[in-house]
Structure 1
Amino acid sequence: MFSKIGQLIFDNEAVAKISDFTMGLEIEMQRVDDTGHLSQEPYPSAIGDEKTNPWITNDFLETMSEVVTPAASHALDAMHYLYAINNVLRSALAPGELLWPLSMPPKLPKDKSTIQTAKMGSVKEAYLKEFIKRHGFSKGTPCGAHINLSIDDHIIDLVLKNFPERFKNRIEVQNYLYTVLAQGFMRYRWLITYLFGASPIAEANYFDKEDELPHPIRSIRQSSYGFGTRFSGCFVDVQKYVKRIEEGLKQGVLIADHDFHSPVRFKGTKDFRDLPKKGVQYLELRMLDLDPSSSVGVRTGTLRFIRLLSSYFIMHPALKADDVDQVLSKADEMNEDVSVELPTDQCKYQNKAR
């Protein structure tokens, strides 16, 4: 059943426009040597400075290359950018270097202090040092595919024009529509994990001996064994989203605002506290494992599927404010169930997925 906004989009024959989301990609891959170990080579000098290159940078490790594409209007264009920049990175690798195609890192040394974290300036390096102290080294090493998704201006203008009594300005429309999208992706993250989960095993020394998994699972990275800080955000609205992160910082649970490693994040302002008044500009979707069957970590069909899901979400009602935390908590439980299933078994939620 459509929301009033969804019906408006349908009545104005704007369904095609609703799928015109702009997409930018951020794809992380580890540089490895030809024996399958983390590379000992520095950031490739042929592509400049890792701190200033906007298209090829580093994340947690000096070996964790991150390719960042410009925003594109179509999935195919985004993929063209990705292939072009990925090829530049590959051409700059040292002799014998390769890009590791899996989300989970290659075999790590027993003494992880020998691995170089990213050289991204004193502030970032201090953050990484504190992250390792709190969460351990391994938690920062998984790679993934991030999608930055923004709504077509035509849809924002259409909603503002037809609901003047509900929205005072564009920023209110933006924040509302992005909240609806965020709730949708958080609610159905388990489905994305089911279809695209691709981190079933960890190589040597990722887990401590007593924590090793007894069998492969669908997605280590998207499970409670995976990446980063376990801190639940609030997706009732943008103001409450910001307030929840501020609480995490005040309590010392979060080191910095970017320590909030949610599968979905509101983005668009330099300071996250400005999001309510300046407006969300795009969503960062962080729930995709690298696709090991693709040389660039993601496929065009996956981006098109995400675009279709986005269209579906935006035409349906937001969750009632009082229901958000409960519904998304249940969704997190479902995602954990799907993540830790034996990949060769029938999914517990197969019928719901259909």
Structure 2
Amino acid sequence: MTTASFTTPAWFRADLVAGMQRGIEKEGLRMQPDGHFAKTFHPAKLGSKLTHPYITTDYSENLLELITEPKDTIKDALDMLRQLHVLVHRGLENGEMMWPLSMPCMLSDSDEDIPLADYGTSNVGRLKTLYRSGLGVRYGRKMQTIAGLHYNLSIGDDLFAAWAKAENRSDFANFKNEKYLGLIRNFKRLTPLVLYLLGASPSVCGCFLTGRTHSLVPLIEGDCKTLHQPYSTSLRMGKLGYTNSVQEDLDIRYNDLNEYIKGLRRAIGTPFADFTAIGVDDENGNPVQINDHILQIENEFYSPIRPKQVTKAGETPTEALEKRGIAYVEFRAIDLDPYSDIGITTATACFLEVLALYCLLSDSPDLLPQEDKLLAANTEIVVNHGRKNDTTITTLQGEKPLGAWIVEKLDEMQAIADAFDEHHGGNEYRTALSAMQGKATNPNFTLSAQIEADSRRLGGTWKLGQLLAKKHQSELLTHAISNEDAARFQDLAVQSFADQQKLEREDSESFYDYVQQYR
């Protein structure tokens, strides 16, 4: 099968996609009925946010995070994500809803009003809160209220086995790591395409930018409640969003797994003057950040995609990768789709899987600092001006019009979409790719353009968010959950509190001594 300049390998068969598994992590702020962020504690009906396997919080007490199990089909993953949303909406109190956009709803001007997630009195729980305190003193708490969606994808061993056999490779574990890293490098190269097609944060509430220098302008003349960047796609992924200038020169590379691990560990072990100046403890001796290093822990490293391995008790992410290699990849550059009640549609999920396999099977030379700088510049261009007709990006082959470049890449993905549909039956993957091709040729079809247009029509993005939040909540509350599932989730919530209490009882080390390991 050949499309444009991409050819699927001779060994590749459609049935090799059967082993693919996917899981979703979806964040969302709890909001009050008036559109302001909620200041209440995590609802007790939802269980312990420290130990519940599926319902927790991210940065702040009001930033929910819903996590599905790995699933064999997109339908199963989205069904579980919807089930978790139903449970959350049944557990919300005081008329609260889930804000449907990535950029936050109305916030207070003061950072201190954004409550850090409280995970209880165990050392592991207090460390999670301390890590969030550190993010707050380093970058400000408002940045941490941005929500996103992570799409986690593992490729079946059948596919890797057929590939390894074709290349006469016997070192299977190393082979898998190499191929996953090739996928990651190509995804980084295609991040501008992802932001253009799936970006859904072209505007933001003015309160998010209080005290910050920016170039955004009012969406509606004379009204500073909603600010935007004309033609922008994903402010979340730009310099005003979830980014970190401190990390721009880290030079963490994805060409070799050991090199990646060493790069991360170097950043975790290296003090940074600005963070040293903050101090690790306050004047009363209470910790305010885990340490004064470039990264407190691995999770502080911001990247549009990460190699992942399931961690065992007491293991860090890099230890898990070092011992057992890459198990799956985490796509992180995905804005919430506010028009979906669960933040993602089947079409988007289908497209991400086509993209993943395209990145995996395409040639993927080493990604070196010169190209990385180009990619960072391209990302910022697409973040701010992606929908402008004359936007160009710079590749190693020279300057290219953004739209034509995206069309070229999507055309090359056709054979992959065909293979998915051949295996699964139906037409969902081809339909998803076709929709993306429509967006590539007409910027007005993009999510970011739709949000901008609806925000103008309704009088602001926060009004659009409020309208969609109410709509999604009323729809989700009509969904039924079987008695069996309801009982299972109830038991999980009860058990999660027991698990948290057990952790708190069993701690024998003082928190001060516990934190010293990370210093």
TM (normalized to structure 1)?
Answer: 0.91
CA contact (8 A) 1:18 1:152 kept: yes
Residue 256 of structure 1 aligns with an amino acid whose one-letter code is: I
How far, CA to CA, are the matches of 1:342 and 1:312 in structure 2?
A: 22
Of residues 279, 292, 297 in structure 1, which corresponds to 2:325? Answer: 279
Quote how far apart the aligned CAs of 1:167 are. Answer: 4.3
How far apart are the structure 1 equivalents of 2:83 and 2:29? 18
The alignment of Structure 1 onto Structure 2 pairs a total of residues equal to 346
* Secondary structure, counterpart of 2:146 in structure 1: coil
Q: Which residue of 2 aligns with 1:84?
A: 83
Distance 1:303 1:344 in 2: 26
| TM-score, structure 2 as length reference | 0.63
- Per the alignment, do residues 13 and 161 of structure 1 end up closer, same or farther by CA in structure 2, a change over 3 Å counting? closer
Deviation of the 1:212 alpha carbon: 3.7
Matched, 1:154 2:146: no
Q: Deviations over 1:155-204 (max 9, x none)?
A: 1222333434x442x21122011101101111100100001111112213
Tell me the distance in 1 between the aligned counterparts of 2:212 and 2:329: 37
Tell me what 1:350 maps to: 403
Give the corresponding residue for 2:269: 250
Distance 1:106 1:173, change over 3 A: same
The whole-number CA distance in structure 1 between the counterparts of 2:154 and 2:301 is 20
Q: 35-44 or 16-25, which moves further after superposition?
A: 16-25
Partners of 1:19 and 1:146 lie apart in 2 by: 21
> What is the rounded CA distance, in whole Å, between the counterparts of 2:236 and 2:15 in structure 1?
34
Q: How does 1:143-292 map to 2 (within 5 A)?
A: 143-164=147-168, 166-168=169-171, 170-215=172-217, 216=228, 217-230=232-245, 231=247, 232=250, 233-251=252-270, 252-270=293-311, 271=316, 272-292=318-338
How many Å separate the matches in 2 of 1:229 and 1:23?
A: 28
The CA RMSD over aligned residues, in Å, is: 2.1
Please say if 1:294 is aligned against 2:335.
no
- Of 185-194 and 242-251, deviating more is 242-251
| Deviation digits for residues 88-144 of structure 1 (CA, Å, limit 9, x no counterpart) | 111111131100011011111112212211112210111111111111111211000
CA distance in 2, matches of 1:152, 1:36: 43
Q: CA, structure 1 residues 287+19, in 2 after alignment: closer, same or farther (shift >3 Å)? A: farther
CA deviations 1:37-79 (Å, max 9, x no partner) are: 1112221111211111111100001000011011112222211
CA distance change for structure 1 residues 20 and 278 in 2, over 3 Å: closer, same or farther? closer
Q: Which residue identity does 2:203 align to in structure 1? A: I
Quick one: which of 317, 320, 324 aligns to 2:363?
317
- Give 5+ residue unaligned stretches, structure 1: none
The question of whether the paired residues in 1 share the 8 Å contact of 2:114 and 2:142 is answered with no
Greater helix percent: which structure? Answer: 2
Q: CA deviation at 1:83?
A: 0.8
* 2:428 aligned residue: none
Taking structure 1 as reference, are residues 292 and 62 closer, same or farther at Cα in structure 2, changes over 3 Å only? same
Q: Any runs of at least 4 consecutive aligned residues in structure 1 with deviations exceeding 3 A, and if so which? A: 160-164, 342-348
CA contact (8 A) 2:114 2:141 kept: no
Unaligned runs of 5+ in 2: 120-124, 218-227, 271-292, 393-401, 408-519
| SS class of match (2:368) | helix
Identity, % of aligned pairs? 26
Tell me the CA shift for residue 153 of structure 1: 1.5
* Residues in 2 aligned to 1:20 and 1:346: alpha-carbon distance in whole angstroms: 41
Range that drifts further, 130-139 or 300-309? 130-139
